[in-house]
Structure 1
């Protein structure tokens, strides 16, 4: 019997804007999606994947390698199989359908990374509604790598906030970022220095904003680890954030811990 359902929110983005015009390839990271989800299933929870348009996320090819599974080819194959075959992963739903069915049926929400959430999820009104629901009820809310940028969807004018970041209008962004529900929360996210090799070698261009600054402008108490790509997870109240791909296992463990505590106290 399942201990409860966890909503896994995926992105549908495949391209991301770069400075000077044009776009670069993007997607969702395989390990960041499946490693925490597999930890949840192993702990007795059920996962339900939902995206803005109801189709499965595009997995960024750069993540579909054994390197992101601690160099373990067998672990990579297990991750691929889980994403393809797990009932909750195989049959993606729309965020709107999850809302209409009722969010009270979910014990937690989890948003993995890859740069894709910085395109659609951070300005998605349905995700904003979901995040406000979980925040008011203090239910575990986890974000990994670029995933924390999706927490900005909870802003009343999230779309306008993102546009202000892209235009470089920091004053307007600060105004639009007022009253964010996570203002003052301790959190982490993919750092600007970790982003640089992706900008240089994959995007061949710079993003319009970096993730820590985007969260800080809205009031987030953002910190990143001293060593790039070293695991780093920050927990503050219901919010659980992991900095980078290597934070997949520790974030999954912290989310399971939070859910188990909630079950004990229920």
Structure 2
């Protein structure tokens, strides 16, 4: 018997803007999506995947490698098969449909990373409505790597907030962020120095803004680990955030703990 439902919110973005009017390939990270989802299912929960347009999220090619699974070929193959074949990863709803069907039946929500959430999810009005529900009900809300930037969608003027960041106007962005539900929360996200590695060696271009800076401008109390790409998870009230790809297993464990506490209450 299922312990309850967990909403997994995916991105539909496949490109991210870079300075100079260009863009780079992006998507969700395979391990950041699959590891927490598999842990949630193993703990006895059902998973519902939803995205803005109702199509399956694109997996960033740079994440589709055994390196992100500790070099474990079996774990990598299992993850690829799960994402390709498991019904939970292939029966995708729109965020609007999830809202229309009702949010009360969900025990928690999870947003994976990859840079894609910084394109669409952070300014998606439907996700904003969903996150405000989970915030108001104090339900476990977990986000990994770049995923935590999606909490910006809960602010009243998320689209304007992102536009101000793209325009290089942090003061204006801070104005648009007023009234944000997560202001003052302790959180973590992909660090600026980790992002520089992606810019230099993967994108070969500069992004318009860093997710650390964006969340700090919005009012988040953002901290990152002392060593790049080492696991780091921060928990504050219902909010569970993981810093980078290697935070996948620790975040999954914290999410399952929070779900078990919430559903046992």
> Normalising to structure 2: TM-score of the pair?
0.99
**1:20 equivalent in structure 2:** 20
Count how many residue pairs are aligned between Structure 1 and Structure 2: 265
Cα distance between partner residues in 2 of 1:98 and 1:210: 30
| 1:103 partner SS | coil
Aligned position for 2:254: 254
| 1:210 CA drift (Å) | 0.4
Partner of 1:133: 133
**Runs of 4+ deviating beyond 3 Å:** none
CA contact (8 A) 2:143 2:242 kept: yes
Structure 2: which 5+ residue stretches go unaligned?
A: none
Structure 2: distance between partners of 1:163 and 1:175: 12
Q: d(CA) in 1 for partners of 2:163 and 2:232?
A: 29
Distance 1:239 1:64 in 2: 28
State the 1:110 CA deviation.
Answer: 0.3
Q: C-alpha offsets along residues 27-85 of structure 1, whole Å, 9 cap, x if unaligned?
A: 10000000000000110011111000000000001101010011111101111111122
Bigger drift between 80-89 and 217-226 goes to 80-89
Q: Are the aligned partners of 2:107 and 2:263 in contact in 1 as well (CA < 8 Å)?
A: no
Distance (whole Å) between structure 2 residues aligned to residue 92 and residue 71 of structure 1: 30
CA distance in 2, matches of 1:224, 1:168: 23
Aligned position for 1:115: 115
1:43-192 alignment to 2 at 5 Å? 43-192=43-192
Q: How does 1:232-243 map to 2 (within 5 A)?
A: 232-243=232-243
Q: Which moved more, 1:172-181 or 1:230-239?
A: 172-181
Q: Distance in 2 between matches of 1:103 and 1:80?
A: 29
SS at match of 1:195: helix
| Counterpart in the other structure of 1:37 | 37
Cα deviation, residue 257, structure 1: 0.1
The CA RMSD measured in Å over matched residues stands at 0.6
What SS does structure 1 have at the residue aligned with 2:104? helix
**Residue in structure 2 matched with residue 206 of structure 1 by the alignment:** 206
SS across alignment from 1:114:
coil
Distance of 1:8 and 1:85 partners within structure 2: 17
CA distance in 1, matches of 2:133, 2:197: 36
CA offsets per residue over residues 168-221 of structure 1, 9 Å max, x none?
111111111111100000000000100112111221110000011100001000
> Matches of 2:213 and 2:202 in 1, distance apart?
22
- Secondary structure of 2:241's aligned partner: strand
Which range moves more in the overlay, 187-196 or 76-85? 76-85
Q: What secondary structure is seen at the aligned counterpart in 2 of 1:50?
A: strand
Give the distance between the partners of 1:114 and 1:100, measured in 2 at CA: 27
- TM-score w.r.t. the length of structure 1 is 0.99
